[in-house]
Structure 1
Amino acid sequence: MLGWGVEFLRAEMNRLLALLFHQGVLDEQFLQLQQLQDESSPNFVSEVITIYFHESEKLLRNLRLLLMERELSDYKKMEIHLNQMMGSSSSIGAKRVRNVCVAFRAASEQNNHAGCLRALELLEHEYCYLKNKLHELFQMEQQRALASVVRYPARHN
């Protein structure tokens, strides 16, 4: 992959971003986040997303633990975790994750344990999809950055 041209990698990154926007995985907030990145902070987006993933893992674990309790009566605590997940997902442009959080919160407001379990399963699925795709995007970005610095001698056959 290192030998790929900078333009090819840029096109692949744009293709992946277009797919994620088309699928509704990301929204315009992600583009605004990208605009905050510059030469003085070249890894800004990946750093923000890494923090998001770290915090989201904790929130998902807490939600899972709350739902596994036999006598689930603390829907308010669940709503606090969901509001945090919704806010951080909104701030990075994770549209589908945010939308699942909204549905999850509605189920928790109704004290609907089965609905919460289904919503948690969907939330974990959407979160994993987002994480995998953004990881793929950041790998391409790293390769593009390397390819723009490293020059390969032309091969003569």
Structure 2
Amino acid sequence: MDVAKLLQQHVDLMDDMFKEGLLDEQFNQLQQLQDESNPNFLEEVVSLFFEDSQRILENMTETIGKDPIDYKVIDSQVHQFKGSSSSIGAQRVKNVCVTFRTYCDKEDKKGCQDALEEVGEEYNLIKKKLETMLELEKQIVAIGGTLPFMEGC
């Protein structure tokens, strides 16, 4: 596949993620921090987000599985996940975390269980799309292309 087609796929994927509300402006700001002196910056940040998210989701699942649920602990975990999601610009994950925290405040077990499921779904969706984006970027660079946000670096 040629660079132009890969670049178009990348642009289309990014446009879709923003239109669907998966990402917000924070993600653009992270992209701007990547340059020739730090060409893997975005991949490193996204990979750390994946690692942290997996650990936090596992902790939340364990906490919600206990009886009785410690709502202060789950709220703290959700707050941590919200912050992590915010820092990378994962807008829909962050928004679900906001709702999740209201269920924690109300000590609503069913609401927390449903919110955990929704958080997991939103996380899996953004993870899949970001992995696709990173793979496209690797392919573009491997065949001598330049990523749009790195032009002029």
Indicate whether the TM-score tops 0.5.
Answer: yes
Corresponding residue SS for 2:36: coil
Aligned residue type for 1:108: C
Match among 61, 65, 69 for residue 58 of structure 2: 61
**1:95, 1:57 → 2: CA distance?**
17
- Alpha-carbon shift at residue 21 of structure 1 (Å): 0.4
Corresponding residue SS for 1:67: helix
- Alpha-carbon shift at residue 117 of structure 1 (Å): 0.4
Unaligned runs of 5+ in 2: 146-153
**2:66, 2:10 → 1: CA distance?**
42
Match among 75, 80, 83 for residue 84 of structure 1: 80
**1:91, 1:7 → 2: CA distance?**
31
1:116-135 CA deviation, whole Å, 9 max, x = no partner? Answer: 00000000000000000000
Aligned residue type for 2:136: M
- Alpha-carbon shift at residue 138 of structure 1 (Å): 0.5
- Alpha-carbon shift at residue 8 of structure 1 (Å): 1.4
Unaligned runs of 5+ in 1: 150-157
**1:55, 1:146 → 2: CA distance?**
28
Q: Could you tell me the percent identity over the aligned residues?
A: 41
- Alpha-carbon shift at residue 95 of structure 1 (Å): 0.2
**1:109, 1:25 → 2: CA distance?**
25
Within 5 A, what are the aligned runs for 1:25-104? 25-72=22-69, 74-104=70-100
**2:68, 2:23 → 1: CA distance?**
36
**1:59, 1:32 → 2: CA distance?**
24
Q: Does 1:105 align with 2:107?
A: no
- Give the TM-score normalised by structure 1: 0.90
Aligned residue type for 1:17: M
Greater than 2 Å deviation, 4+ residue runs? none
**1:75, 1:123 → 2: CA distance?**
17
Match among 5, 22, 29 for residue 2 of structure 2: 5
User: Alpha carbon RMSD of aligned pairs, Å?
Assistant: 0.9
**1:69, 1:84 → 2: CA distance?**
19
Corresponding residue SS for 2:35: coil
Corresponding residue SS for 2:63: helix
Within 5 A, what are the aligned runs for 1:121-132? 121-132=117-128
Aligned residue type for 1:76: K
Q: How many residues align?
A: 145
